[in-house]
Amino acid sequence: MRKFKKSSVVTLSLAATLALAACSSDPEETEETEGTDGAAEETEETEDGDDEGDGEAAAGDGGELVIALSADGVSLDPHGQNDNPSAKYRSLIYETLMTFDPETYELEPGLAESYEQIDESTFEFSLQEGVEFHNGEELTADDVVATFDRMLDPEIAAPSSFLFDMIDSVEALDEYTVQMTTEYPFAPLLSHLAHNAGGIISETAIEADYAGEINLDIGEGEAGTGQFVFDEWNEGADLRMLRNDNYWGEPANIDSVYFQVIGEDATRIGNLQTGEVHVADLIQPALADQVEAIDGASSLQYQA
């Protein structure tokens, strides 16, 4: 087992995903369940944080949110492997130009404060000002250009590059304005820009990764802008992120997120019942009744 730990002192941080957005506003936790038909169920535990496990406060009340995953991620690099656990990790660290509202799921600007379609193949994005990467540098148009240059670099061979291979050019018009041109009209472009693979990476970190000075796969470089900062990863076992107290938007109201890799459904359910975890991911629908039987827990079913 490899163990990765950020070498520099971190500021407490955490990036928001849909699951965490619900947990950050009140002490409810969520458990997802997935079956062979593509449907998934998500269980929310609504106890007020008097866990019988590690004694951490519940999500939404400070403390640490504990999420049990069925499998570990592979890469923290947005241009790395396109597996689901990795995407869960990365979506807390990195943010995208566009995003989806967690309640309505409507497309809206993210790191882009606004956008304008110039013609059928050209978009201009005005970036949020005052956004800082976890390394303390300010987000500028050059970071966006560097991100998509790297995404489309054949030497990087990003598994998700097919989402963006219609892009012909990305140009910085000024410090906070980016122009993106596609080879042909492509209506879903804005939705693709909301995918976690389009997470904007610090240009400094990109250059250091190319030079072999850091490894974005394992979280080095403090290269994201999200609500959470990478802290430590024990591959195959667990990963922890800390709240970003310098976050440009509304900060998370929990101190940290701790992912545990627990392969057995029954163990994830058992740990949910004892309060050792707040969120149990990907439980088979056949076991949903066991979740419903837990006092203070419920399940939410959605279509994947």
264-286 pLDDT per residue, tens: 999 999 999 999 999 998 888 88
CA pair distance 161, 198, nearest whole angstrom: 9
pLDDT at 46: 34
Mean pLDDT of the chain: 83
Nearest to 67 by CA among 50, 102, 92: 92
Nearest to 78 by CA among 90, 64, 60: 90
> Which residue spans within the chain are E strands per DSSP?
3-5, 29-34, 39-45, 64-69, 98-100, 107-109, 112-119, 122-127, 167-174, 177-182, 228-234, 238-243, 256-261, 279-280, 297-303
pLDDT at 61: 63
Mean pLDDT computed over 126-134: 98
Q: How confident is the model at residue 166 (pLDDT cuts 50, 70, 90)?
A: very high
Q: 10 Å Cβ neighbour count for 243?
A: 25
pLDDT at 39: 34
* Model pTM above 0.85: no
pLDDT, tens only, 66-120: 999 999 999 999 999 999 999 999 999 999 999 999 889 999 999 999 999 999 9
3-state secondary structure of 291: helix
pLDDT at 302: 56
Fill in the DSSP letter of residue 105.
-
pLDDT at 300: 64
Length of the chain: 304
